[in-house]
Structure 1
Amino acid sequence: MKDDEVYGPLPPAEAVDMDEYIESTIHQRTEAAQQRLKNKNNKAPTREDWMLTLPEDRPLFSGLGLQARQFSKSGKRDRGDTSVWTDTPADKERKAQRAAEGRKTSKHEPEAHANPRDERMQAMVAKYNEAKRAQPLIDTHQSSNKKVVKTVAQTKKESLSVTGVGRERKPFSREEDLHVNKFDEAQK
């Protein structure tokens, strides 16, 4: 056999002692474990800021052009108090103490009553809209459709009464309807 015809891995050049091999791998593993313990004691794992706070309130896919092409009908909605999501146990305890003392816990709580000026302005806007603004297009379209449907129904009713289809049904009579067995003066 020639050297060119040998396939597969070469056998080790020197003999390997199994006891030595096992001892070296155990030694390597213990050193790695000790190194991990040293690193663990030095630095506690911390989370980055983006993991601890809620994302800002913005529409999804804002850059893709998928948002509505009109003004929002309800206005911008306020999330309210979002600190519930990110409170630590210490924060929760502090809030519980404040609540026991009777202090307000959040800046974002809405006021219980509306401003009287706002109410007056809303009433004025509603009055102006009723007086000056035209009826919305959808309302005019629906009312014209109702008129068209009424006129179509009226014409159908009239055509049925003219053609006789809408009248009361009379029973079939062979002599009257087919004029059978009637002799004219000419036939006699």
Structure 2
Amino acid sequence: MLKSLADVIGASSAPLNGVMQQDKRQSSLFDFRTGRVSILVATDLASRGLDFPDVDLVINYDVPRRPSWSDSAKAYIHRVGRTARAGRHGRAITFVTPYSVTRLKAIESALNERIPQLPWPGTDCLNSQLRQQVVQADKEARANLRIKEKQKQIKKKRKDSSNNDRLPKTKRSRQSKEVDSEETNSEPE
């Protein structure tokens, strides 16, 4: 969703997560390192073991959730540490909801440091044109995701249908009889 939203508002971005195939992850990393994209929308996969020397800003979509508070603090440090390499300075912003305040307080306690809170700009601070653009971008991103999901479903149905066509005729007949008997045994909706 975040990558789709970034794309809709015209920000060049690339995804990075553990579900992606290795070659696609490598491609996203290459695009980010070379400046081809300016935003890397990443899961915690990017918090360790990857070196990005020129990251100025990390935005945490959520407060890390780990089994223990110390593990959450370590995850937070690794996430925001992407910005402060080799004596450089950077910024990190973490979105905190009422449901994640307790986790953030525990991380602050484990770090023995208070994380500064920035005020959320009220809607009166945002001009209506920007607000409309964000709302429109959100609608387009959601529509694009629905289209992609539909395309996946269609592709799966085609694949299933293709696999069904490869079954021996006797097996297909048995399957269709089973489906027919299920339909006659089920109650109408």
Query: Could you say which TM-score interval applies, normalised by the shorter chain?
Result: under 0.3
Higher strand share: 2
After TM superposition, the score normalised by the length of structure 2 is 0.22
Structure having the higher Rg: 1
What TM-score do you get using the length of structure 1 for normalisation? 0.22
Query: Structure with the greater relative contact order (CA < 8 A, sep ≥ 6): 1 or 2?
Result: 2
